[in-house]
Every structure is written in C-alpha cells, then in structure tokens.
C-alpha cells in the first residue's frame, strides 16, 4: 500500500444543526471554558483504568474541542499542540471529532497503522500512537456532545473489555451531565 498524503485526516463535515443543538445542550448543562474538577477526577480514573498517559472528557463546542476533564501522568493538566499548552484543540486535531461524527467508539491500537489517521497533527506534534474514545450522547436529544478518550505515545492493543469500559465511563459522564442540568450536582 502506498501512502497518499492527500488522504490525510481532515475534520469531519460540520453538521450545523447538530452543532447548534450540541452547544445549546452543553450550555444548559453548565459546560463552558473552564475545567470541571469532577470531570478531571473521572479522567484520572479512566487513565488509571487503561494505563494510558492521558485521559480526557472532551466537548465539541464553539467550533473547537474543549477538555473539561483532563488527566496526565506527566504533570500539569494540559495537552500541548506545539506552541500552546492548554485544554483545547482545533477540530482538525486529534480523533475525537470523528467519534462525535460517527457516534460510536473508536479504538485505534496504533494510529500509524491507519493512513487516514496517521497524518493527524497530534501524531507529529505530540507523538500520539494510540487512541480509544467513546461518544457522550445527550439522553434528551441523542446528539453527541463530545467524548471520553485516552491517548498514549506507545501503541496499546485495546481489548473488547477496554471498549466496554470506556463506554461505561461515557455513561457515567452522561449521567453526571444530566444531574448538573437538573441542579442535583
């Protein structure tokens, strides 16, 4: 197989109706541009559960990805994309926008084994080699709000139980978001 650079990863087409609904729902749940300690705790548990270096609770909002929950083995709770450390990424970076678009879990044991994903900027800039993500579905509307995911700089051969576990964590986050919206948290 020959690598075709024109087949590099691009962000999925934006569904403007879903984007508007997603933003409205996230705002109703109190999600904005600030980290949420309870989501940082969930990310930390997910990172420990999988053994990955990073775990995130990621929302697609205002035309970008925002990590309201983030845990790292390497210290500060930020991801660096070359020049700017932080809790956000553009939609053409990483793999979460594809999980949001697909609405299903995405296990990539070695992202370099998939030409479509190997050309992503996070592979080159952060050295990411593995990804596992699951969608966060709004129980009220069914729209995908974001993802829970883990990444690492070494390939990890994901098992079926890993996919089941990350889906269970996604359900926990969804329940927490609903409780936030209902004023119970």
Measured distance between the N- and C-terminal CA atoms of the chain, rounded to whole angstroms: 52
Pair 91, 65: CB distance under 8 Å: yes
Which domains, from first to last, does the chain contain? 10-181 (3.30.450.40)
- 6 pLDDT more than 50: no
> Per the structure block, which two tokens stand in for 112?
């370099």
The more confidently predicted of residues 116 and 185 is: 116
Which residues partner with 105 through β-bridges? Answer: none
Place 78 in a pLDDT band, splitting at 50, 70 and 90: low
When mean pLDDT is compared across 46-60, 74-88, 105-119, the lowest value belongs to 74-88
Q: Residue 180 is inside which H or E element, if any?
A: helix 160-181
> Per the structure block, which two tokens stand in for 10?
């691009």
- 157 pLDDT more than 80: yes
Place 59 in a pLDDT band, splitting at 50, 70 and 90: very high
Place 2 in a pLDDT band, splitting at 50, 70 and 90: very low
């Amino acid at each position: 197989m020959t690598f075709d650079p024109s087949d590099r990863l691009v962000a999925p087409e934006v569904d403007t109706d879903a984007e508007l609904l997603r933003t409205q729902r996230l705002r109703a749940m109190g999600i904005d541009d600030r980290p949420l300690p309870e989501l940082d705790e969930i990310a930390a548990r997910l990172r420990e559960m999988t053994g990955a270096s990073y775990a995130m609770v990621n929302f697609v909002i205002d035309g970008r990805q925002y990590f309201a929950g983030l845990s790292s083995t390497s210290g500060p709770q930020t991801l660096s994309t070359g020049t700017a450390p932080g809790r956000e990424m553009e939609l053409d970076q990483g793999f979460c926008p594809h999980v949001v678009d697909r609405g299903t879990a995405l296990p990539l044991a070695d992202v370099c084994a998939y030409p479509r994903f190997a050309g992503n900027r996070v592979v080159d800039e952060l050295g990411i080699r593995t990804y596992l993500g699951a969608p966060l579905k709004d129980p009220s509307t069914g729209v995908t709000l974001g993802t829970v995911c883990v990444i690492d700089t070494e390939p990890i051969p994901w098992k079926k139980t890993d996919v089941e576990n990350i889906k269970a964590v996604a359900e926990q986050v969804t329940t927490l978001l609903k409780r936030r919206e209902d004023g119970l948290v």
